[in-house]
Amino acid sequence: MKFPYLFSLIFYICIHSIFARADNIAPDPKILIAEMSNATTELNYDGIFVYRYDKQIDKMRIIHKKNSNGDVHERLVLLTGNKREIIRDNDRVKYFFPENKVVIIEKSKSGQLISSHIPDTIQSISKFYAFDIVGQGRIVGLNAWIVNIRPIDRFRYGYQLWIDKESKLLLKSKLKNFQGVTLEQIMFTQLDVLGNIDDMLLKPSFSSKNFTLINNINDKTSAYNVSRKKWKPSWIPKGFLMSEYSIDPMPTSAIPVEHFIYSDGLATISIYVEKLNKQQPIRTGTTNFGGVNTYSLSTDGYQITAIGEVPKTTVQLIVNSVKSSP
């Protein structure tokens, strides 16, 4: 009579240990990142995260919603310092700077770059980055896989990601240089994955009536198809391909600016070539905004600037290699 009980107990222990192990078997990091990329868009969530770079720490709230018709709405609110907000409705992005009473409207270009075959894209990225699951962690009360993305050379940055085991959302990320020093970090301190999100939560908290509107969506590029010098970088890090070229109007520029966009799949580098009048001040040198480095120089009445989530050396080398041909 005791045998069935013993058998049941052994069976239960086996099944339990199999499931317990399954929960701890590390997934393929590339598939995990593809799942995270998908979850970031597809899920509805409301969270608070801290953003740290240099010696500064800021706190922000992100609310993300995808409607049943596929429309994506997002609101980012800066909770420390100036009360700035960013509202995104699909590819239309509004930046509110209330301290200057300015709203800037931009059109996000993500649709033109997103591949429908993300795993294939990750495969191509693998030539320049090594992906590894390095452990497990716990962020905002959720169990996470820790993924290291290490660059193969010093011309790009690496990443360390904490991805929620259940929802696959990104809970924490660190941008690291080649030596492993953290340059920039975000970490959620509160995160709710929700079935639905009230549309009221996606509205800006102030009216833009008294704001100066800077609309950069207008397509003025065709009006400026004047003969231009052909600028081109003669050096770009391996793996970076030109994904787009545009002539962008800028609020501070009399003439639209030539814009070359290069990407290796993870990092993006923009090269801006702007013709300036003799009276216009020209910036030269490097600056950084968190993990983004910029470098500018002037040549022949033009200001050439590279901006990207890459090391300072990379933007410097790129700008120094930009040459024109008549």
Site size for other proteins, by CB under 8 A?
A: 85
- The reply to whether 101 sits near other proteins by the rule CB under 8 A is no
Could you give the CA distance from residue 111 to residue 4 in angstroms, rounded to a whole number?
A: 60
Instruction: Choose which of 242, 255, 282, 297 interacts with other proteins (CB under 8 A).
Output: 282
Q: Which residues contact 42 (CB under 8 A, 6 or more apart)?
A: 66
Stretches 113-121, 132-140, 220-228, 317-325: which one binds other proteins (CB under 8 A)? 113-121
Q: Which residues in the 246-265 window bind other proteins by CB under 8 A?
A: 248, 250-253, 257, 259, 261, 263, 265
Instruction: Choose which of 272, 273, 315, 317 interacts with other proteins (CB under 8 A).
Output: 272
Instruction: Choose which of 8, 17, 67, 110 interacts with other proteins (CB under 8 A).
Output: 110
Q: Which residues in the 56-75 window bind other proteins by CB under 8 A?
A: 56, 58, 60, 62
Could you give the CA distance from residue 48 to residue 50 in angstroms, rounded to a whole number?
A: 7
CB-CB contact of 50 with 57 (8 Å): yes
Instruction: Choose which of 28, 71, 99, 153 interacts with other proteins (CB under 8 A).
Output: 99
- The reply to whether 211 sits near other proteins by the rule CB under 8 A is no
Between 262 and 317, CB nearer to other proteins? 262
Q: How far is residue 74 from each of residues 79, 83, 92, 152, measured CA to CA in Å?
A: 16, 17, 10, 34
Between 93 and 146, CB nearer to other proteins? 93
Q: Which residues in the 171-210 window bind other proteins by CB under 8 A?
A: 173, 175, 184, 186
Instruction: Choose which of 151, 233, 308, 311 interacts with other proteins (CB under 8 A).
Output: 308
Instruction: Choose which of 44, 167, 177, 286 interacts with other proteins (CB under 8 A).
Output: 286
- Measured from the CB of residue 173, what is the shortest distance to other proteins in angstroms? 5
Q: Which residues in the 227-246 window bind other proteins by CB under 8 A?
A: 243-244
Instruction: Choose which of 51, 178, 211, 231 interacts with other proteins (CB under 8 A).
Output: 51
- Measured from the CB of residue 77, what is the shortest distance to other proteins in angstroms? 8
- Measured from the CB of residue 234, what is the shortest distance to other proteins in angstroms? 22
Between 161 and 317, CB nearer to other proteins? 161
Between 109 and 323, CB nearer to other proteins? 109
- The reply to whether 93 sits near other proteins by the rule CB under 8 A is yes
